[in-house]
Homo-oligomer: A and B are copies of this chain.
Amino acid sequence: ADIVVLPGDGIGPEIVSATLPVLETIARRHGHAFAFREHDIGGIAIDRHGEPLPATTLEAAKQADAVLLGAVGGPKWSDPNAKVRPEQGLLAIRKGLGLFANLRPVRPHPAALGASPIKPELLEGVDIVVVRELTGGIYFGDKTRSDTDATDLCRYTVAEIERVVRSAATLARSRRGHLTSVDKANVLETSRLWRDVTTRVMREEFADVTVEHQLVDSMAMHLLSKPRAYDVVVTENMFGDILTDEASMLAGSLGLLASASLGAGKVGIYEPIHGSAPDIAGKGIANPYATILSAALLLRHSLGLEEEAQAVEHAVDRALDDRVFTADLAAPGQAVSTADAAQAVI
């Protein structure tokens, strides 16, 4: 399989370097051949090519079986009014590959619960996947700016809603059979359309999956007060951005959360949900587990290697059971390096 590797900025190169040997180990043990091709994205791409997503990177990703991404951005490129910005690379590659469904699993590992701000008794048995719509909504609508005002247009088409709801409902069917759709239908027209389309798709195509509708503000509460109540949660781009970061707090550390961005084809982008953490970049102390778990999602969703995906997930679970913790999770003086954590998984 042909895997495009986009280390990006900050801790991106370190966590990606720590992850590739895990994939190589899987390839060796299970008799696969993985070819890794590295390309630039984000700040480093701006520095080297003048743009956050060079055409060569997008082309390589389109040809590949899967994309493994580190993180983009950093203080060097952080002026929100700059004409070219690292995040544009991320938005453009998601859109360019048509990756409309962003899966973010949240399943707190018992050993990491101490690091969560949530009371541990609420977290036992929590197992949620948030499916965030990733190529529509206010992120991609027309924008204007004048001396006196600014606008962003939020737009959703029926087709955009249908396809992401189908992805989420299919996933729910393979799990506990429950879908929660989040919108703001009491205020937004796009949310009323979202609710109507979701209701119809679920009735016509997924009668075996239960569906519940939640307003985004209530959901921001219920996610904390009764996280066990959720199985698969589907929502639009902006609400998904906020709710997944909130949900990450259930897992104790951002450093444990993987994501898969999927479209109609097999190519997907796999990346940790955390950012480029410039404050700890270059020190070799970043937590590689989220990237390693993203590689497991890559094996599962783009390469169809379920057994191999589970082998990686179990190895990370075992490392956590053994309290092989980087600085974000460890007690003072007990932290291991990025490389050591990856070695424990291998």
Residue from A91, A153, A155, A239 with most neighbouring chain B CB atoms (10 Å): A153
Does A151 have its Cβ within 8 Å of any Cβ on chain B?
Answer: yes
Does A225 have its Cβ within 8 Å of any Cβ on chain B?
Answer: yes
Residues on B with beta carbons closer than 8 Å to the beta carbon of A218: 245
Docked complex: A216-244 residues within 8 A CB-CB of B: 216-218, 220-221, 224-225, 238-239, 241-244
B149 touches A158 (CB 8 A): yes
B195 touches A224 (CB 8 A): no
Expressed in whole angstroms, the Cα–Cα distance for A225 and B152 within the complex equals 30
Docked complex: A163-209 residues within 8 A CB-CB of B: 184-193, 195-196
| One of B80, B143, B185, B221 near A80 (C-beta < 8 A) | B185
| One of B87, B122, B154, B187 near A87 (C-beta < 8 A) | B187
Residues on B with beta carbons closer than 8 Å to the beta carbon of A139: 187
B144 touches A189 (CB 8 A): yes
Does A124 have its Cβ within 8 Å of any Cβ on chain B?
Answer: no
B225 touches A189 (CB 8 A): no
Interface 0/1 of A229-272, CB less than 8 Å to B: 00000000011011111101100001000000000000000000
A138 touches B118 (CB 8 A): no
B193 touches A217 (CB 8 A): no
Chain A interface, DSSP helix/strand/loop, else mixed? helix
Residues on B with beta carbons closer than 8 Å to the beta carbon of A216: 241-242
Interface size class of A (residues with CB under 8 A): 35 or more
Q: Which residue of B lies closest to A254 (CB)?
A: B221
| One of B87, B154, B220 near A152 (C-beta < 8 A) | B154
A158 touches B152 (CB 8 A): no
Q: Which residue of B lies closest to A140 (CB)?
A: B187
Residue from A91, A216, A245 with most neighbouring chain B CB atoms (10 Å): A245
Does A96 have its Cβ within 8 Å of any Cβ on chain B?
Answer: no
Expressed in whole angstroms, the Cα–Cα distance for A189 and B150 within the complex equals 6
Residues on B with beta carbons closer than 8 Å to the beta carbon of A159: 148
Closest 4 CB pairs of A and B: A150-B193, A143-B189, A80-B185, A220-B246
Can you report 19 A-B residue pairs in the complex whose CB atoms are below 8 A from each other? A80-B186, A118-B119, A138-B138, A143-B188, A144-B189, A145-B193, A148-B157, A148-B159, A149-B156, A149-B193, A150-B155, A152-B153, A152-B190, A153-B154, A184-B241, A216-B242, A218-B245, A220-B220, A221-B246
